[in-house]
Amino acid sequence: MSRFSASDAAFSGFRLVRENLRAIAIWAAAMTVLSIISNVLAIQYFGRELEALMSYLSDNSNPDPEETFRLISDLTPLMLWSLPYSLVVNGVIFAALNRLVLRPQDSRFAYLRLGKQELRQAAVWVLSTLILMGVLFAGSLIAGFLGAMGGPTGAFLALLGLLGAFCVVIYLAVRLSFAPAVTFENDRITIFKSLPETKGLFWPLLGAYLLAVVMSIIVVLLIWTIVSAIGLIASGDLSATGKMLRADTSSLQAYFTPAGIVQALFSGLISILTTLIVFAPAPTIYRALKGGAPDAPTTGGW
């Protein structure tokens, strides 16, 4: 029997927003500024390539894999630059989230820092992603091998292999979901020490996480509905709604239209809200299982 309420945990992100409006507003403002700066740099140097890829994908319901790969390869320098940027930003945000939940008294700088804790959080997400991708890749190889048998039997076994790999990925993602919180608490990179903490809690954890994802989707849709309504009232142009959902990235002049500015201003808020709603349940549940206060750090990693 679980020692926490899955429904209460799923709404923990909303409670954090309500109880820490000032800190969350600072997070959203910082994320908005960083998003605008990164978008400006990306459009300045790779605007045409970005617009070519987005236009091709939006105009073709069945895009050619070779053409898609060619367009993506043109953006390789941008992706190489975006990867470390994303890791640092995510590390800062997830460390701040864990600090807010596990050490709420440490509220300096609105819980935002840039140090070892943030680098550990980035490392945890990289390692967890590699583990999950490795499992999915192995499952795909097995499914391909089974599919090579040919016939309905081979196709059926290949489908079972893919479904099995997908289920294993979900299972591991849930069982490893405490890794960021454990890492933050122990000041050491820990991945597999999340397993004993989540033992026997898979189904209530999965329920809490799924409910949180559904709520985040509803929040995003609600925000974009409101923003689109405001844009429609202000401009009287029905096409403005579509432009807000995907701004023109071919040039800075095309991007900084009213629709592009609205998208940029709300992107930071949406990013922070979805992060809190989806990922706050894990450290919140971890804290509840620990009795509301972190224990003394343990030695050793992993």
Q: Do 104 and 12 meet the contact criterion of CB atoms below 8 Å apart?
A: no
User: Residue length, the chain?
Assistant: 302
Which domain range does residue 78 map to? 6-113+200-289
Structurally, the chain folds into a number of domains equal to: 1
Alpha carbon 168 to chain centroid distance? 20
- The mean per-residue pLDDT over the stretch 90-112 comes to 94
Contacts of 142 (CB under 8 A, 6+ apart): 161, 165
Q: Does pLDDT of 130 surpass 80?
A: yes
Residue 83 structure tokens: 């990867």
Please indicate, yes or no, if residue 149 is contained in any of the structural domains.
no
Q: Tokens in use for 67?
A: 């053409």
Share above pLDDT 90 across residues of the chain, in percent, rounded to a whole number: 49
pLDDT recorded at residue 127: 95
- The pLDDT tens digits for 198-246 are 999 999 999 999 999 999 999 988 888 877 776 666 555 555 555 555 5
End-to-end alpha carbon distance in the chain: 27
Answer whether residue 258 is part of any domain: yes
Task: Please write the tens of the pLDDT for every residue from 37-57.
Answer: 988 888 888 888 888 888 877
Q: Which residues lie below 8 Å from residue 34, measured CB to CB, with a gap of 6+? A: 89, 268
Sequence-separated (6 or more) residues with CB below 8 Å from residue 291? none
C-alpha radius of gyration, the chain, whole number: 22
Per the domain annotation, does 13 fall within a domain? Answer: yes
Contact criterion met (CB below 8 Å) for 162 and 140: yes
**H/E segment holding residue 232:** helix 202-235
Whether the CB-CB separation of 232 and 238 falls below 8 Å is answered with: yes
Query: Is 219 among the domain residues?
Result: yes
Give the pLDDT of residue 149.
78
What mean pLDDT comes out for the span 90-114? 94
Is residue 302 included in any domain, yes or no?
no
Asked, for residue 26, whether it belongs to a domain, the answer is: yes
Query: Is 144 contained in some domain?
Result: no
Residue with more model confidence, 169 or 254 = 169
Collapsed DSSP state (helix, strand, coil) of residue 298? coil
pLDDT confidence bin for 294, thresholds 50/70/90:
very low
pTM exceeds cut of 0.75: yes
Asked whether residue 263 is assigned to any structural domain, the reply reads: yes
pLDDT digits 0-9 by tens, 3-20: 778 889 999 999 999 999
